[in-house]
């Protein structure tokens, strides 16, 4: 009888292992299905972002270029000084790079100045601090261009800083 029980337990253990493997295979299939759904959702989100970007560009083309008022331009360096701490705290590295590129295109900074911001400063916050100080020293017109670029590149941060 003891041998019968051992044989029975062995068969039950084999069945348990088989059921466990079967369950794992079934769960793996479900995980793949979830990944497929997530991938499709991400693709749709990317398409929506592209459409939104095109609409924003069309809207800007329809409105024409932004020209800040002379009064806004004269206070721009003061405004940058007021938001400096929060900018340093919140500006991401990709945003800093975008601002550097834009400021070079606008001829506010030259390539050596942009390189100095990126290469001489190791920390993100130090890069942000260096960038905003460098632009402020160049005067209100340069500061206004940075504000405009910041609002274009990161409208949420622009609003958070009160630059809109």
Q: Where are the domains of the chain?
A: 1-64, 70-161
Q: Structurally, what CATH architecture does the domain formed by 70-161 represent?
A: Orthogonal Bundle (1.10)
In this prediction, what percent of the chain has a pLDDT beyond 70? Answer: 91
64 within 8 A of 132, measured Cβ to Cβ: no
Name residues whose C-beta falls within 8 Å of residue 20's C-beta, 6 or more positions apart in sequence: none
pLDDT at 46: 82
Q: Rounded to the nearest 5 degrees, what angle is found at the Cα of 56, between the Cα atoms of 54 and 59?
A: 110
Predicted model pTM: 0.56
The segments of the chain whose pLDDT lies below 70 read: 60-74
Condensed to tens digits (0 to 9), the pLDDT of residues 18-35 reads 999 989 988 888 888 888
């Amino acid at each position: 009888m003891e041998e019968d029980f051992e044989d029975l337990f062995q068969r039950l253990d084999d069945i348990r292992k088989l059921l466990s493997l079967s369950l794992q295979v079934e769960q793996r299939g479900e995980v793949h299905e979830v990944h497929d759904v997530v991938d499709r959702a991400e693709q749709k989100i990317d398409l929506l972002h592209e459409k939104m970007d095109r609409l924003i560009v069309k809207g800007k083309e329809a409105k024409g270029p932004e020209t800040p008022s002379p009064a806004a331009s004269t206070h721009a360096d003061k405004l940058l000084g007021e938001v400096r701490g929060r900018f340093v705290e919140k500006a991401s590295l990709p945003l800093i790079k975008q601002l550097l590129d834009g400021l070079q295109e606008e001829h506010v900074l030259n390539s050596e100045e942009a390189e100095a911001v990126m290469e001489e400063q190791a920390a993100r916050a130090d890069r942000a601090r260096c960038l905003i100080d460098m632009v402020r020293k160049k005067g209100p017109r340069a500061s206004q261009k940075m504000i405009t670029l910041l609002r274009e590149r990161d409208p949420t941060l622009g609003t958070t800083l009160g630059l809109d």
